[in-house]
Amino acid sequence: MIVDAISPLDGRYAGKLVSHRKYFSEKGLMYYRCKVELLYVLALDKAGLFEPLNNQEKLNIQDCIDNFKESDYARIKEIESVTNHDVKACEIFLRERTQLRDVNMLHFALTSEDVNNLAYNFMLKDYLEKEHLPQIEQLLNKLMELAALWKKVPFPCRTHGQKASPSTAGKELAVFVNRITRIYKELKCFTFLGKINGAVGNYSAMLSAFPDFDWLNFAHDFLRDHGLQPNICTTQIEDHDTFGTYFNWTRQLNNIVIDLDVDCWLYISKNLFSEKVKAGEVGSSTMPHKVNPINFENSEGNMMLANSILGFLTDKLSRSRMQRDLSDSTVQRNMGSALAYSSLGITELMRGLNKLEINENVCRAALEDSPELLAEPIQTILKIVGVDDPYTLLKKVSRGQKPTREMLMELVKDLEIDQETKDRIYKLQSVHYIGDAIRICDLVLETTKKVMQENVNLG
Burial (CB count within 10 angstroms: exposed 0-12, middle 13-18, buried 19+), residue 45: middle
C-alpha to C-alpha distance for 284 and 291, rounded to whole angstroms:
8
Burial (CB count within 10 angstroms: exposed 0-12, middle 13-18, buried 19+), residue 205: middle
Please give the full DSSP string across 346-407, using - where no structure is assigned: HHHHHHHHHHEEE-HHHHHHHHHT-GGGGHHHHHHHHHHTT-S-HHHHHHHHHTTS---HHH
Q: Which of 81, 160, 285, 289 is catalytic?
A: 160
Residue 249 near residue 185 (C-beta atoms within 8 A): no
Confirm whether 160 is a catalytic residue: yes
Amino acid occupying residue 167: S
Closest CA to 109 of 31, 185, 49: 49
Q: Which of 19, 204, 208, 284 is catalytic?
A: 284
Q: Taking the mean position of all CA atoms in its chain, how far away is CA 426?
A: 48
C-alpha to C-alpha distance for 95 and 89, rounded to whole angstroms:
10
Which residues fall within 8 angstroms of residue 99, CB to CB, at 6 or more apart?
Answer: 56, 57, 60
C-alpha to C-alpha distance for 350 and 296, rounded to whole angstroms:
9
Residue 35 near residue 65 (C-beta atoms within 8 A): yes
Confirm whether 132 is a catalytic residue: no
CB atoms within 10 A of CB 135: 15
Largest CA distance in the chain: 101
Which residues fall within 8 angstroms of residue 387, CB to CB, at 6 or more apart?
Answer: 393, 415, 417
Please give the full DSSP string across 87-100, using - where no structure is assigned: HHHHHHHHHHHH--
Helix count and strand count (H, E) for the chain: 20, 8
C-alpha to C-alpha distance for 392 and 269, rounded to whole angstroms:
34
- What are the residue numbers of the active site? 160, 284
